[in-house]
Structure 1
């Protein structure tokens, strides 16, 4: 038996701490203080039979018949969340330099349009902070591969960050490749994290100062799993490949339903006299769709056809 999901749902079902806890990893005993230490080796060391003896496991797992090595992190969410972190670090760097203004935002939007990604900034009225479009998986991959960092950063800095982004894209591609060598992946993943944590050298504001990349606090739980555990899952499940456990179809279904049933004008059925819960609408829609599929009907109503 196997279990695969995003981090939050996996830890809930496992009866484990949230990702921002001191003991954050469902598979090993690492602590938050050690998350950036690449000299240590962290392997899947817990056993499902006595899982509650480990720090952070506060409840009995819902599926305690599944071996812990078969609780598989979703490859899609590894890509989504690490790409989110890389993008937020880029925006933070632009803000720190004082260039995150209307001109910079316009440049970013134009570059997104060039790579065929629908992207916008808008300012929240309550706090005056800037929000931006939440991208789907394929759009994030486009940004990761094709966004021209030279448009927003000095050339030298842009090349350094581009190499980091390319390195992560290569790792993600390797996760999805059933022929990936686990040992090679482990080596490459550790090297990527080492580059991510490149420290600055020299004295700030002097000629010999070389800016590094990111701080230990910028390392995320998903990065820890990428570097220290994914090679184990690749080795243990090479018969199927980690791509076989992807949650992408579920995420796509979720996106479709959110788009259709949770838009602002239709939230909880809208304001009409036939107002009903969006959850109920989803269940009714899925039930109708199953009916027409099971009965192989050629007379599917237009409202169903549009959403299948």
Structure 2
């Protein structure tokens, strides 16, 4: 087992996973308000088109759950920085969510900068977490005075915890090299190419929601079946599917 003091989280995955979480929470709020309809989806698609980000919604035929394109890192950065939330929310609400998104991007940039002061990053991270946990004010039954907060403690993800409570520690410990020296961006790119090629570049991540199988599980099961037929004498065997990744 790797000692805990020798573990460092990848800054790229922190960006990807936390951005995913912020996007999910934003869409969940729209659904909670009963506004996740064709018009809203059209507005989101229009904004993505303005940002020159390839993005699509589709309804799963079996589960009837609305799903959407998994974005690459650069596209996630674009959405995180420039998506116009005022198209979907009232100005005050949009400004609060935008402040949270901007605050996270600032943390990400600070984490990548080896010249960042760890003490300052710690304070900045705690302030961002406090913003994430902004409580509601007033009585929900009185809409005129009620101000909705942001999110709950149980909506914090492990990457958020790692960023807030351990990012500054790791930056201080590895200040000589910086977080970028431990980046897994090349591995992430390879994984993305493999998954998208296997599923014929649909970018739907694969996986069967009803069977609760992830994309990687489907790939492994397919490879296991191929290996079984290749190494066992059988009357019939399926043709091996060859995947070429450029």
What residue is the counterpart of 2:182 in the other structure? 245
1:276 and 2:240 equivalent? yes
Shift of 1:223: 0.8
What residue is the counterpart of 2:193 in the other structure? 256
* Residue 203 to residue 261, structure 1, CA distance change in 2 (3 Å): closer
Q: 2:80 aligns with which of 128, 131, 144?
A: 144
User: Could you tell me how far apart the structure 2 residues matched to 1:257 and 1:123 are?
Assistant: 24
Q: 2:47 aligns with which of 96, 100, 111?
A: 111
User: Are the counterparts in 2 of residues 75 and 243 from structure 1 also a CA contact under 8 Å?
Assistant: yes
What residue is the counterpart of 1:181 in the other structure? 117
1:161 and 2:125 equivalent? no
What residue is the counterpart of 2:209 in the other structure? none
What residue is the counterpart of 2:16 in the other structure? 80
* Larger Rg, first or second structure (1 or 2): 1
User: Could you tell me how far apart the structure 2 residues matched to 1:70 and 1:195 are?
Assistant: 31
Three-state SS of the structure 2 residue aligned to 1:72 is coil
Considering Cα pairs closer than 8 Å and 6+ residues apart, tell me whether 1 or 2 has the greater RCO: 2
Unaligned runs of 5+ in 2: 203-218, 224-236
What residue is the counterpart of 2:7 in the other structure? 71
What residue is the counterpart of 1:208 in the other structure? 145
User: Could you tell me how far apart the structure 1 residues matched to 2:14 and 2:77 are?
Assistant: 12
Three-state SS of the structure 2 residue aligned to 1:118 is coil
What residue is the counterpart of 2:229 in the other structure? none
Give the paired residue count.
214
TM-score w.r.t. structure 2 length? Answer: 0.82
4+ residue runs over 4 A deviation: none
What residue is the counterpart of 1:122 in the other structure? 58
1:172 and 2:133 equivalent? no
User: Could you tell me how far apart the structure 2 residues matched to 1:80 and 1:167 are?
Assistant: 15
Shift of 1:98: 1.2
Shift of 1:276: 1.6
User: Are the counterparts in 2 of residues 79 and 172 from structure 1 also a CA contact under 8 Å?
Assistant: yes
TM-score w.r.t. structure 1 length? Answer: 0.66
User: Could you tell me how far apart the structure 1 residues matched to 2:157 and 2:197 are?
Assistant: 32
User: Are the counterparts in 2 of residues 69 and 233 from structure 1 also a CA contact under 8 Å?
Assistant: no
User: Could you tell me how far apart the structure 1 residues matched to 2:177 and 2:32 are?
Assistant: 45
Three-state SS of the structure 2 residue aligned to 1:227 is helix
Q: Deviations over 1:29-54 (max 9, x none)?
A: xxxxxxxxxxxxxxxxxxxxxxxxxx
Shift of 1:259: 3.1
Superposed CA RMSD? 2.1
Shift of 1:145: 0.3
What residue is the counterpart of 2:133 in the other structure? 197
Unaligned runs of 5+ in 1: 1-60, 286-306
